[in-house]
Amino acid sequence: MQARTLGTDGPSVSPLGLGCMGMSQSFGPRPPREEMIDFLRAAVERGVTFFDTAEVYGPFHNEELVGEALEPVRDQVLVATKFGFAFDADGRQTGVSSRPDDVRAAVEGSLRRLRTDSIDLLYQHRVDPDVPIEDVAGTVAELVAEGKVQRFGMSEAGAGTIRRAHAVQPVTALQSEYSLFWREPEEEILPTLAELGIGFVPFSPLGRGFLTGQVTAETTFGDNDIRATLPRFEQEALRANLALVDLVRQVADRKGATLGQVALAWLLAQQPWIVPIPGTRRTERLEENLGAVDLELTEDDLAELDRASASVQVQGERYPEAMQKMIDR
């Protein structure tokens, strides 16, 4: 696979990364650890060089898993992780915190769990409204100077916050949701990133499975599946939103591709500095996703997909109210 560069001066990575969260939480029972270690190593064998984790995934379990799996190939891959949440004495997440002492403590824990002496890309997971972003960026700048962090990233940050952080410590990449199912970043975020030379890492590029065609109007989600709590996946909203899947399927059928491949190829065609991180736990799904890299969409194909996306007004918020409040605007 031809590598992509995250932003103007960022690292070179595979055109698709791998989101690892679902290996520890949010999408049903946690798979056996050894099975996931084998899967992560199989991803490297298939050319994936960019892996995304966070201390809050599990919590902590995901970093430990990724650290163990990738330790033998650490020099071949780029691992991104995140700080920004607070935890109680039992390890339960209690809110956001990007106070300098908490950032440093999070980095020390991530270094240990990832079995590395330097974090390739460190994201602020959510903007902390109680800590000036200049203080956060300044703390990361100190960690970069100390060699404990290589690059700074942000997640779900608004354009103004990105600019303020970037003025203190260059931001390599922004991670936020972006797909045919959710195109809000096109309004302010993508132009800001283009201006500043920052890469973009879309999470949920398949709409949490929505754009694979595997979710139907009859699909139900278990209590340990995050989609059971998301307004977009409530039955009435889901039925309305499936109109988009039907339209994307028309392109997929014509191209001899899967829905997911078309959705990922559309994202890759938007900008050369966009690197989506679809999450999966299955080798066959990983191989399907990687097939999107070689799927050529013509200008007519892209225009048809744009029209399809614009014609369907997505019903339901991205998150429940409490989680929605954590998104910086």
Neighbours of 71 (CB within 10 A): 12
Strand extents, DSSP E, the chain: 4-5, 12-13, 18-19, 50-52, 78-83, 85-87, 93-96, 121-124, 152-155, 171-177, 199-203
Cβ atoms of 269 and 296 closer than 8 Å: no
Polymer length in residues for the chain: 329
Tell me which of 57, 123, 178, 319 is the catalytic residue: 57
- Residue 47 CA to its chain's centroid (Å): 18
The residues near 57 (Cβ < 8 Å, ≥ 6 apart) are 20, 21, 24, 25, 63
Backbone angles phi, psi at 172, to 5 degrees: -80, -40
- Taking the CA atoms of the chain, what radius of gyration do you get in angstroms? 19
Q: Is 319 tagged catalytic?
A: no
Please give the positions annotated as active site. 57
